[in-house]
Amino acid sequence: MSIIDPRTGEALTAPIESDDAASAQASPESAPTGGDVRREDVIIDLDASNIQQVLEASMQVPVLLDCWAPWCEPCKNLMPVLEKLAVEYAGAFLLAKLDVEANPEISGQLGVRSVPDVKLVSQGGLVDSFQGALPEKEIREWLGRYFQAPADAPPSPEEQAEESLKAGDAATAREIYQTLTSQYPEHYAYQVSLANALVAEGRSDEAHSVLDNLPPEERDAAPARGVRASITFGEQALSHDEIAALGERDDSEAQFQRALRHVADGDYETGLEALLALMKSDRAYGDDAARKTLLQVFDALGADHPLTVAYRRKLFALLY
């Protein structure tokens, strides 16, 4: 079967070989490859004049219904992301946009109670849905349950920010997270990431302000505590220039300062390993400073963090 444009009845892409239920639910193996697809090929406005055609089209290709309203700000953030993904996925699904305010009867039949509401329809039935303006990364993960991601998919904004941080370009990462926090003000993970980028940029006071404005449950959670720990460790640690000035020194003080700098930079594993090594070689240094700092890092990362679990075990083995 071919993917049929519900507006014209014409085929949009190459035929899909299988028409069984698994194919209609867009398993990765059956995702069509339509080549260069135009925006108008895969995105349509849904209303009473074409709802039946769209449902019929879902017998051949999944349809992603974006239920939105003109007054809904989150909808305005979500729609461009869905449109970009529809084109990027090159015909693996059709994106049908429903203005619930202009089409209250259809939205009622679909069970839409709040917007944005995104529904994946296949074989005329509901496969899955999500509510709210999810960030692009989470939408890609959601789509990944049903569709094979395009081989040439561009990096998400989150991935771009992470790569910028790894490359030492904290300013670019900060700008990306500022945009994301503006678009998704209730996605608090972005605010924590923004604070982390601010720390990397040397703007700890601003990072503190961002973290202080989080809801209490987010402010006290492990990710935020980790950023606060980076700020604290950064205030305690020597600067990178001072670390470089240590040269070849390998005494306990030099080892501790290098470990503290790694922790302050967010390179927790290297820092934890160095602190553990210092405990082995000079347990008495700084009134047991290495062990105390290990415990501070564990608290910052949270009890369930993989590094906390692994290094608590190593610490226990060393002590007992």
Neighbours of 128 (CB within 10 A): 16
d(CA 292, CA 298): 10
Neighbours of 89 (CB within 10 A): 23
Q: Can 67 be counted among the known catalytic residues?
A: no
Residue in this structure with the two tokens 């449109």, named with its chain if needed: 83
Give the 3-state DSSP-derived string for the chain, with helices as H, strands as E and coil as C: CCCECCCCCCECCCCCCCCCHHHHCCCHHHCCCCCCCCHHHHEEEECCCCHHHHHHHCCCCCEEEEEECCCCHHHHHHHHHHHHHHHHCCCCCEEEEEECCCCHHHHHHCCCCCCCEEEEEECCEEEEEEECCCCHHHHHHHHCCCCCCCCCCCCCHHHHHHHHHHCCCHHHHHHHHHHHHHHCCCCHHHHHHHHHHHHHCCCHHHHHHHHHCCCHHHHCCHHHHHHHHHHHHHHHCCCHHHHHHCCCCCCHHHHHHHHHHHHHCCCHHHHHHHHHHHHHHCCCCCCCHHHHHHHHHHHHHCCCCHHHHHHHHHHHHHHC
Q: Residues 3, 4, 65, 72: which is the catalytic one?
A: 72
Q: Residues 75, 78, 192, 264: which is the catalytic one?
A: 75
Q: Can 75 be counted among the known catalytic residues?
A: yes
Catalytic residues: 72, 75
